[in-house]
Amino acid sequence: MRFRKLKKQSRKNKSNTQVDNVKYARNVDKIKAFITDMFMIYIPILYLLTYVVLNGKDEFQSSTVAPLAGVLLFGLISSFLLSKFGQTPGNKAYTMKVVDVKTHKLISFPRAFLRYVSFIFSATFVLGLFVGFYRKDNASLHDLIAKTTVIEVEK
């Protein structure tokens, strides 16, 4: 073989092995990261809504819009963080990143928000969350819908 063909072939092999050598995040770490995000993002949102925007817990509990606003704000913030950095604080704590399933690059904001909305629906019916336990890549239903995957990254 000529040198040029050998060099091209080695480049192709290197590019293929970079995508193939991905280590997928464990489901246990994903759950821990989600709990961390709830404490670091969602609880402060609920506190601000309850005591700054509204006049205490009684008004929050009687409102139908306030819990929806809290969930929406959490979704917008986490989608922004995923589109900008590929990580939420919980993902960063457990060295994970949410990326495109094929290119392993960052995802766009609309795609990150689609992932969040589909997570809400799959968590509502619980069945979508268990899909990840039966797959090699640990992808849950919301990852399959948004065509994303959660990989481990080095510190």
Which residue, chain included where needed, has tokens 């997570």?
119
Rounded distance between C-alpha atoms, residue 99 and residue 8, angstroms: 27
Mean pLDDT of 24-28: 92
* Spatial separation of the C-alpha atoms in residues 81 and 143, rounded to whole Å: 16
pTM for this prediction: 0.82
Question: In the chain, what percentage of residues exceed pLDDT 70?
Answer: 88
Average pLDDT, whole number, for the chain? 89
Segments in 53-108 forming alpha helices (H): 57-62, 65-84, 89-93
pLDDT of residue 129: 83
* Residue 120 in tokens: 């809400």
Confidence at residue 15, expressed as pLDDT on a 0 to 100 scale: 47
What distance in Å separates the CA atoms of residue 112 and residue 143, rounded to the nearest whole number? 10
Give the chain's end-to-end CA distance (angstroms, integer). Answer: 41
124, HSE (Cβ side, Cα atoms, 13 Å):
6
Q: Quickly state the pLDDT bin for 21 (edges 50, 70, 90).
A: confident
pLDDT band at 127 (very low <50, low <70, confident <90, very high): confident
**What is the model's pLDDT at position 125?**
85
Instruction: Domain ranges for the chain, please list them.
Output: 23-152
**Quick check: 66 and 123 in contact, CB under 8 A?**
no
Whole-angstrom Cα distance, residue 115 to residue 123? Answer: 12
Nearest partner of 74 among 63, 90, 60, 62, judged by Cα: 90
pLDDT computed for residue 102 by the predictor: 93
pLDDT tens readout for residues 71-113:
999 999 999 999 999 999 999 999 999 999 999 999 999 999 9
